[in-house]
C-alpha cells in the first residue's frame, strides 16, 4: 500500500510540482493550499506524512505542526517543514518533537530519504 502524503503550501505551483514528483515515485498525494484547512485535510486523508511550508500568509507552518502534533488522532503523522528561511528561526516555533527542516527549493533526494518506502 502506498504511503499517503499531505502537502501544505500556499503556493499551488509548489504543491502541484512536488505532488507530481512524489506520485511518480508511487506515493498518494493530496494538496492543500490553505493552511487553515490543513487539519481538516489531515483528518480526511489520513496521511503518514505532512510536508509543510513554513511561511504562509494565513498562518505559518509552525501553527499547523502544533495542531497536528497535539491532535490525538494525528500524533503518529510524520511532519517535515520545507522553508526558504533558516532552521534557527523556525525551530523555536515548532512542537517539541523531531521535525526535519529542509531548505527550499527542496532537494528531492534529501526529501526521499525522510519518507517511508
- Domain positions in the chain are 4-114
d(CA 90, CA 73): 25
Give the Cα separation of 105 and 55 in Å (integer): 13
Closest CA to 52 of 26, 70, 72, 31: 31
DSSP 35: G
Class level of CATH domain 4-114: alpha beta
Higher-confidence position of 20 and 84: 20
Q: What does the block give as the cell for 8? A: 501544505
Residues 54-75: tens digit of each pLDDT:
999 889 899 999 999 999 999 9
pLDDT tens across 16-35, in order? 999 999 999 999 999 999 99
Cell numbers for 44: 480526511
Considering the entire predicted model, what is its pTM?
0.95
Angstrom distance (rounded) from CA 19 to CA 25: 10
Q: Quick one: which of 89, 38, 41 has its CA closest to 59?
A: 38
Amino acid at each position: 500500500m502506498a504511503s499517503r502524503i499531505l502537502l501544505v503550501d500556499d503556493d499551488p505551483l509548489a504543491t502541484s510540482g512536488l505532488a507530481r514528483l512524489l506520485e511518480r515515485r508511487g506515493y498518494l498525494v493530496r494538496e492543500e493550499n490553505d493552511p487553515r484547512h490543513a487539519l481538516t485535510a489531515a483528518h480526511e486523508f489520513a496521511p503518514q506524512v505532512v510536508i509543510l511550508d513554513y511561511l504562509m500568509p494565513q498562518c505559518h507552518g509552525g501553527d499547523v505542526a502544533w495542531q497536528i502534533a497535539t491532535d490525538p488522532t494525528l500524533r503518529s503523522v510524520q511532519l517535515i517543514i520545507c522553508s526558504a528561511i533558516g532552521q534557527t528561526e523556525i525551530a523555536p516555533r515548532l512542537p517539541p518533537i523531531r521535525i526535519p527542516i529542509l531548505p527550499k527549493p527542496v532537494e528531492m533526494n534529501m526529501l526521499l530519504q525522510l519518507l517511508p518506502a
